[in-house]
């Protein structure tokens, strides 16, 4: 059985179909959507190697012909020059506004595919078939698209919503365990933001989710998508509540930058560490109950995610260096940084002006 999560965005509302085998819905759904039996598929070489045949099979009965473009896997692909290549491929293939681009891959392919779709003839149809856990619960929901530039990540982009998302948890079977856990950190995030009951459920059932047991995986992915969808429906362009999705990310982005984005610290790992630190900083500041901070550390740690700075290069992760990186946050002012803190598990809030000196002292105490 599949679960459908509706993203309520007025005339641009769309469905997220979640579950083991959800891909089989792609053919029937596309036939209702397309003006002609043809679609463009953007993917990466790893995803194509594992799952191209499954996607072809899913649209075969609907008689849809697919044009494929496979790019090299990895964050470097999310670039201006690759974006230009995607647009040229679409133009060469005669893509029209009425045609649809399917992003078949992780967040890299989804983010760049969405931006390409938004630009193509000022907007062609866009469908996401996310193949990483992170993409299924986070990047494919909400319509943020982007490419990176040498001056920073995700600086060039647009808000552009897909018409359909299909999150087939069976596709995750080939994902490396570390990537799976990194995506799982974003699932835990939704429990920590505003859903303590979900956090409790994850504390008991997390291993089943990570083992990709179909029922558990469907439940966790669907509940995560619903959580993000509700926040996005309320604040599509991140002027208010959408900021809560940054829980663990202000710390996390500083760790990723301090680490120069090397692959020994994945984004989700940095976020897990960042969430544990946000809760412990909250506890140290008298905002978060200490027992909640300890429980968050324990539950994230039990799933194999990093929860402390121990073992990281002390020079690279020096407190003053991390604080300087946090000062570069888009919304930071002199000596102050916006942080997502929590009054407890499931009770996150935007703290608009945390004192950077106290954050730095806290980080020094953690090293
Ligand atoms: P990714 O797309 O690079 O995928 C990670 C790795 O997994 C890649 O090597 C990929 O080839 C491989 N892979 C993908 N699916 C696979 C499968 N089923 N089996 C085996 N291997 C598979 O990275 P990601 O973690 O999915 O996404 C990270 C990106 O998402 C970042 O660029 C980030 O900025 C972006 N992001 C965007 C949003 C948003 O709201 N738009 C939110 C969070 C993250
Ligand atoms: Zn994230």
Name the closest ligand to CA 189.
Answer: 2
**258 and 321 fall within a common domain:** yes
**154 and 268 fall within a common domain:** no
Domain of 300 in residue numbering reads as: 177-366
What would the pLDDT profile of 154-190 be if each residue is shown by its tens digit? 999 999 999 999 999 999 999 999 999 999 999 999 9
**103 and 170 fall within a common domain:** yes
CA of 334 to the centre of ligand 2 (A): 25
Task: Name the CA dihedral angle for 270, 274, 280, 281, rounded to a multiple of 10 degrees.
Answer: 140
Q: What is the ipTM score, two decimals?
A: 0.99
Structure tokens at 1: 């059985």
The pLDDT, as a whole number, for residue 55 is: 98
Whether the per-residue pLDDT at 290 is higher than 90: the answer is: yes
The pLDDT, as a whole number, for residue 279 is: 98
What would the pLDDT profile of 38-69 be if each residue is shown by its tens digit? 999 999 999 999 999 999 999 999 999 999 99
CA distance 301 to 227: 23
Mean pLDDT value across residues 118-126: 98
Nearest-atom number in ligand 1 for the CA of 74 is: 3
CB 354 within 8 A of CB 326: no
CA distance 12 to 20: 26
CA of 31 to the centre of ligand 2 (A): 33
Q: DSSP labels for 157-205? A: EEE---SEEEE-GGGGGGS-HHHHHHHHHHHHHHHHHH-HHHHHHHHHH
CA distance 118 to 154: 15
**166 and 286 fall within a common domain:** no
Whether the per-residue pLDDT at 145 is higher than 80: the answer is: yes
CA of 265 to the centre of ligand 1 (A): 14
Strand arrangement of the beta sheet that strand 38-44 belongs to: 3-7, 14-18, 164-167, 125-130, 100-105, 38-44, 65-71
Residues annotated catalytic, as ranges:
122, 144, 186, 228, 238, 242, 246, 249, 253, 267
The domain boundary, picked from 145, 174, 203, lies at 174
Percent of the chain with pLDDT over 70: 100
The CATH number given to whatever domain includes residue 348 is 1.20.1090.10
Q: Which of 179, 232, 268 to mutate to test the pocket of ligand 1 (most atoms within 8 A of CB)?
A: 179
The pLDDT, as a whole number, for residue 337 is: 94
**291 and 268 fall within a common domain:** yes
The domain boundary, picked from 148, 174, 200, lies at 174
Mean pLDDT value across residues 351-357: 94
Output the average pLDDT for the chain: 96
Question: For residue 332, what pLDDT band results from cuts at 50, 70 and 90?
Answer: confident
Phi and psi for 212 in degrees, rounded to 5? 60, 35
**141 and 188 fall within a common domain:** no
**190 and 154 fall within a common domain:** no
**207 and 318 fall within a common domain:** yes
Structure tokens at 358: 């106290």
Question: For residue 245, what pLDDT band results from cuts at 50, 70 and 90?
Answer: very high
Number of compact structural domains in the chain = 2
The domain boundary, picked from 106, 141, 174, lies at 174
**227 and 262 fall within a common domain:** yes
**127 and 273 fall within a common domain:** no
Whether the per-residue pLDDT at 114 is higher than 90: the answer is: yes
Highest mean pLDDT among 80-84, 311-315, 334-338: 80-84
CA distance 5 to 226: 6
H-assigned helices in the chain: 26-33, 45-60, 80-92, 107-119, 133-134, 177-194, 196-210, 214-234, 249-258, 267-284, 290-302, 319-327, 356-366
**128 and 226 fall within a common domain:** no
**154 and 286 fall within a common domain:** no
The CATH number given to whatever domain includes residue 166 is 3.40.50.1970
Place of tokens 């530039």: 149
What would the pLDDT profile of 159-168 be if each residue is shown by its tens digit? 999 999 999 9
Structure tokens at 102: 């399917």
């Amino acid at each position: 059985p599949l679960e459908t999560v509706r993203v309520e965005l007025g005339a641009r509302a769309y469905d997220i179909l979640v579950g083991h085998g959800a891909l089989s819905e792609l053919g029937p759904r596309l036939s209702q959507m397309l003006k002609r039996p043809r679609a463009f598929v953007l993917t990466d070489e790893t995803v194509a190697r594992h799952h191209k045949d499954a996607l072809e099979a899913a649209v075969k009965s609907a008689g849809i012909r697919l044009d494929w473009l496979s790019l090299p896997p990895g964050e470097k692909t999310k670039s201006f020059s690759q974006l230009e290549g995607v647009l040229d491929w679409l133009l060469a293939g005669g893509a029209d506004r009425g045609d649809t681009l399917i992003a078949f891959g992780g967040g890299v392919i989804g983010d760049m595919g969405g931006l390409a779709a938004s630009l193509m003839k000022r907007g062609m149809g866009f469908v996401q078939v996310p193949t990483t856990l992170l993409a299924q619960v986070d990047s494919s929901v909400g319509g943020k698209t982007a490419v990176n530039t040498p001056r920073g990540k995700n600086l060039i982009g647009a808000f552009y919503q897909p018409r359909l998302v299909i999150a087939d948890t069976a596709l995750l079977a080939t994902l490396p365990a570390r990537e799976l856990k990194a995506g799982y950190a974003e699932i835990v995030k939704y429990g920590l933001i505003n859903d303590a009951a979900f956090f409790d459920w994850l504390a008991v059932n997390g291993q089943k989710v990570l083992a990709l047991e179909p029922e558990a995986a469907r439940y966790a992915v669907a509940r995560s998508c619903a959580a993000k969808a509700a926040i996005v429906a309320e604040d599509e362009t991140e002027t208010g509540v959408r900021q809560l999705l940054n829980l663990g990310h202000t710390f996390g982005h500083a760790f990723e930058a301090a680490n120069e984005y090397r692959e020994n610290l994945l984004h989700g790992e940095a976020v897990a560490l960042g969430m544990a630190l946000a809760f412990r900083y909250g506890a140290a500041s008298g905002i978060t109950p200490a027992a909640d901070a300890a429980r968050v550390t324990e539950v994230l740690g039990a799933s194999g995610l990093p929860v402390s700075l121990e073992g990281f290069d002390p020079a690279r992760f020096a407190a003053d260096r991390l604080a300087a990186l946090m000062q570069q946050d888009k919304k930071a002012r002199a000596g102050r940084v916006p942080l997502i803190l929590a009054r407890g598990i499931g009770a996150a809030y935007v703290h608009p002006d945390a004192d950077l000196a106290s954050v730095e002292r806290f980080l020094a105490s953690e090293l």
